[in-house]
Amino acid sequence: MVHKTPKIVRTVADLRAQVGAWRAAGERVALIPTMGALHQGHLSLIELGQTRAQRTVASVFVNPKQFAPHEDFDSYPRGEARDAELLASVGCDLMFAPGVDEMYAPGFSTTINLTGVSEPLEGAARPQFFGGVATVVTKLLIQSQADVAVFGEKDYQQLQVIRRVVRDLDLPVEIVGAPTARAEDGLALSSRNAYLTPEERAAAVALPNAIKAAAQAVAAGGRIDDAEEAAKTAILAAGFRQVDYVDIREAGDLSRLGPGPIGAAKGRILVAAWLGKTRLIDNMAVG
C-alpha cells in the first residue's frame, strides 16, 4: 500500500495555487469529484486518474443543491478522517474539502440547467438533482482547472449529463468514465449500501442480476418491453418495494429504444428501485 497523506485544502484560492504550481511544472492534473463516504469504487476512480495524469485531486463535498428537502442530505454518511486515510492508501495528492459557504457564497444565484439527456429517469424521479450536480461539477472543473476529470459509470446518466455540459460550455477538460466497481456478488458499490440491513444487503443482488438477464435477453434478439417487464417482476419478487424505472435506452443520449428488438442500436439498461428506505441505482451495457 502507498501511504502518502494527501494535502487537504479548503479554499478555492489554495486549490488553484497548488494546481497552478503543478501545471506550471508541466504536470497534468486529474480531478475526481466525490461526496466522501469513500469506498473501493471511488479509489478505482483515483487509480484511473493516476493513469491519465501525474497528479490527482479528490474533491469531498456533500452538495446540498442536489438533494431535495425530503432526501438524505442530513443523514448522508460523512467522515473526513477516514476519507483522508483512504485517499492516502492510494497515493492521492490533494483532497479539496470546502465548506458550504466556500462553494455557495451568500447570495449565490446561478444554476446550470439542461434539457434532453437530464430529463428522463433520474431527472424525472429527482427533479432538482441534475441542476445541482451540473452546477457543482461545473464549479469544481473551473475551480480546479483540471486537465481530466473521472466519473463512475455507476451514475451513468450523471456521466452523460456532465459530458453534455462540458461540450455545451466548451469547458477545457477531458471527461473519463470508469467502469462500475462491484462487490463479489455483483452489487454495485455505493455509499448508500451502508443504509442496508443484512437482510436487505442479501436481497440487493437481485438488482444487478435482473438487469444482466434483461441485457442478455435483448442482446439475444428479445423484445425490449418484455425484458424490462421481466426485470421489474424479478426485482419486486426479491423484496424491493418499488421500482422507479427499469428502462433500456440509447447509450449516448438516453432517448427511448424499443419496444421491439434493439437491432443495431447501442443500448444501456438503467434501473432505480427502493429496498426498504434505500434507493439503489444500477446500469449495464446492452448489445
For residue 258, the minimal CB distance to ligand PAF (Å) is 28
Only one of the segments 131-139, 175-183, 203-211, 258-266 lies at the binding site for ligand PAF (rule: CB under 6 A); that segment is 131-139
Count the residues of the shown chain that bind ligand PAF, applying the rule CB under 6 A: 10
Q: Smallest distance, Å, CB 185 to ligand PAF?
A: 23
Out of 48, 87, 90, 133, the residue judged to bind ligand PAF by CB under 6 A: 133
Contact with ligand PAF (CB under 6 A) among 15, 29, 33, 247: 33
Query: How is the beta sheet containing 55-60 ordered, strand by strand?
Result: 7-9, 94-96, 55-60, 29-34, 148-152, 174-178
Closer residue to ligand PAF in complex, CB, 66/118: 66
The 3-class secondary structure across the chain, one letter per residue, is CCCCCCEEECCHHHHHHHHHHHHHCCCCEEEEEECCCCCHHHHHHHHHHHHHCCEEEEEECCCHHHCCCCCCCCCCCCCHHHHHHHHHHCCCCEEECCCHHHHCCCCCCCCCCCCHHHCCCHHHHCCCHHHHHHHHHHHHHHHHCCCEEEEEHHHHHHHHHHHHHHHHCCCCCEEEEECCCECCCCCECCHHHHHCCHHHHHHHCHHHHHHHHHHHHHHCCCCHHHHHHHHHHHHHHCCCCEEEEEEEEECCCCCECCCCCCCCCCEEEEEEEEECCEEEEEEEEEC
Q: Name the minimum Å distance from CB 132 to ligand PAF.
A: 7
The answer to whether 49 contacts ligand PAF (rule: CB under 6 A) is no
Is 42 a catalytic site residue?
A: yes
> In terms of CB distance, is 50 or 157 closer to ligand PAF?
157
Pick from 9, 29, 30, 35: which binds ligand PAF (CB under 6 A)? 35
**Closest CB 61 distance from ligand PAF, rounded Å:** 7
User: Active-site residue among 3, 39, 42, 70?
Assistant: 42
Residue with Cβ nearer ligand PAF (138 or 287): 138
**Residue from 50, 63, 180, 283 binding ligand PAF (CB under 6 A):** 63
Closer residue to ligand PAF, CB minimum distance, 68 or 220 = 68
Q: Are 256 and 201 in contact (CB under 8 A)?
A: no
Q: Which of 29, 46, 121, 136 binds ligand PAF (CB under 6 A)?
A: 136
Member of 34, 135, 190, 193 binding ligand PAF (CB under 6 A) = 34
Distances (CA, A) of 20 to 13, 15, 47, 55, 143: 10, 8, 22, 12, 11
Indicate the residue among 41 and 287 with the shorter CB distance to ligand PAF: 41
Least distance to ligand PAF, CB of residue 60, Å = 9
Residues belonging to the active site: 42
* Contact positions vs ligand PAF (CB under 6 A): 33-35, 63, 66, 133, 136-137, 155, 158
